[in-house]
C-alpha cells in the first residue's frame, strides 16, 4: 500500500506545482478574479457529478459515505443555513468580486470542456469492470484531495484578505481546503477518519487489496483525474506569461 501512497503523493505534488497554482500570488487581481469566476462553474457542477457517481455505485459502504458527503453540501434541510455554494459566493464577494461580475461571467470553452470531461470520467468509471473501486478512487482524488490541494494554493492569495485580527472569515475555500484533505495515507487510514478523502479512503483501501489489476485501475483513475484538473488551469497559462518575471 505504501507504493500507492508514494504514487499518489507524487501526483499531488505535480498538481501543487502546476505553474498557475504555484505562482498564484504573482497574478494581477483581475486575473485571479477570473480564475475564481471560472472555478465557480466547476463547483456548481460538483453536486451533480457526485449524484452521477452515487447512481453508478453498487458498494453499499461506499454509497453511504458518498451520500453523507453530498448531504454536507446542504447543511440544513429547512433552508435556514446557507449551502456551500452560497458560502463560496460570500467568500468571492469578500475578496472584492462584484455581484455584477458574478452575474455576467460565463464559462469559457476550456471550463465547459472540464465539466463535460468530469461527467465522462465518472460515467467511464461506472462502466468499468471494477466500477466501485474506480468510482471511489475518482470521488476521493478528483472530488476531495485535488480540491484541497488547489484551495490550499488559492488560499496563499486569499489569506491576507480573509483573515483579519486573527479571525479567519472564509466560509468556503479554507474550510474545504481543510476538510477535503488527505490527512492519512492509505496505509494508515481508519474508521476514525474525519476528512472527506480519508472517509472515502477507508473503504477504498479495503477494495484495493493486493490484486495487480486493482492497483492499475487506481493509478489510471488518479492520472485521468489529475489531467482533467490540470487542463482546467492550463487555460490561465497565458495570463501567467504576461506577468513580469
Cα separation, 96 vs 9, in Å, equals 34
Cell matching residue 102: 458574478
Where would I find the beta strands (DSSP E) of the chain?
163-164, 167-168
Is the torsion defined by CA of 45, 85, 15, 3 positive or negative? negative
Quote the pLDDT of residue 80.
Answer: 87
Backbone phi, psi, residue 195, to 5°: -75, 155
Taking CA atoms, 178 is separated from 63, 181, 245, in Å, by 23, 6, 32
SS3 content of the chain, % helix, strand, coil (to 5): 70, 0, 25
The pTM (predicted TM-score) of the whole model is: 0.94
In this prediction, residues 156-179 reach a mean pLDDT of: 94
Cα separation, 114 vs 91, in Å, equals 23
Condensed to tens digits (0 to 9), the pLDDT of residues 138-154 reads: 999 999 999 999 999 99
In this prediction, residues 30-46 reach a mean pLDDT of: 97
Quote the pLDDT of residue 114.
Answer: 98
Is the torsion defined by CA of 96, 245, 155, 160 positive or negative? negative
Residue 210 has pLDDT above 70, yes or no: no
What is the DSSP code (8-state) at residue 74? Answer: S
Condensed to tens digits (0 to 9), the pLDDT of residues 72-116 reads: 999 888 888 999 999 999 999 999 999 999 999 999 999 999 999
Cα separation, 169 vs 177, in Å, equals 14
Amino acid at each position: 500500500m505504501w507504493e500507492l501512497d508514494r504514487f499518489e503523493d507524487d501526483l499531488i505534488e505535480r498538481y501543487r506545482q502546476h505553474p498557475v497554482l504555484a505562482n498564484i500570488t504573482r497574478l494581477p487581481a483581475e486575473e485571479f478574479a477570473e480564475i475564481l469566476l471560472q472555478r465557480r462553474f466547476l463547483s456548481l457542477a460538483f453536486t451533480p457529478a457526485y449524484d452521477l457517481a452515487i447512481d453508478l455505485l453498487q458498494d453499499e459502504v461506499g454509497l453511504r459515505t458518498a451520500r453523507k458527503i453530498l448531504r454536507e453540501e446542504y447543511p440544513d434541510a429547512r433552508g435556514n443555513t446557507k449551502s456551500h455554494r452560497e458560502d463560496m459566493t460570500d467568500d468571492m464577494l469578500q475578496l472584492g468580486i462584484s455581484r455584477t461580475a458574478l452575474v455576467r461571467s460565463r464559462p469559457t470553452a476550456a471550463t465547459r470542456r472540464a465539466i463535460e470531461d468530469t461527467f465522462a470520467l465518472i460515467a467511464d468509471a461506472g462502466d468499468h469492470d471494477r466500477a466501485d473501486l474506480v468510482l471511489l478512487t475518482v470521488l476521493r482524488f478528483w472530488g476531495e484531495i485535488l480540491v484541497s490541494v488547489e484551495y490550499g494554493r488559492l488560499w496563499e492569495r486569499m489569506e491576507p484578505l480573509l483573515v483579519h485580527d486573527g479571525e479567519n472569515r472564509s466560509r468556503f475555500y479554507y474550510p474545504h481546503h481543510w476538510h477535503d484533505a488527505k490527512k492519512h495515507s492509505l496505509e494508515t487510514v481508519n474508521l476514525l477518519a474525519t476528512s472527506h478523502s480519508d472517509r472515502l479512503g477507508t473503504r477504498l483501501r479495503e477494495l484495493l487489496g493486493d490484486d495487480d489489476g486493482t492497483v492499475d485501475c487506481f493509478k489510471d483513475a488518479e492520472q485521468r483525474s489529475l489531467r482533467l484538473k490540470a487542463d482546467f488551469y492550463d487555460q490561465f497559462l497565458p495570463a501567467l506569461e504576461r506577468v513580469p518575471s
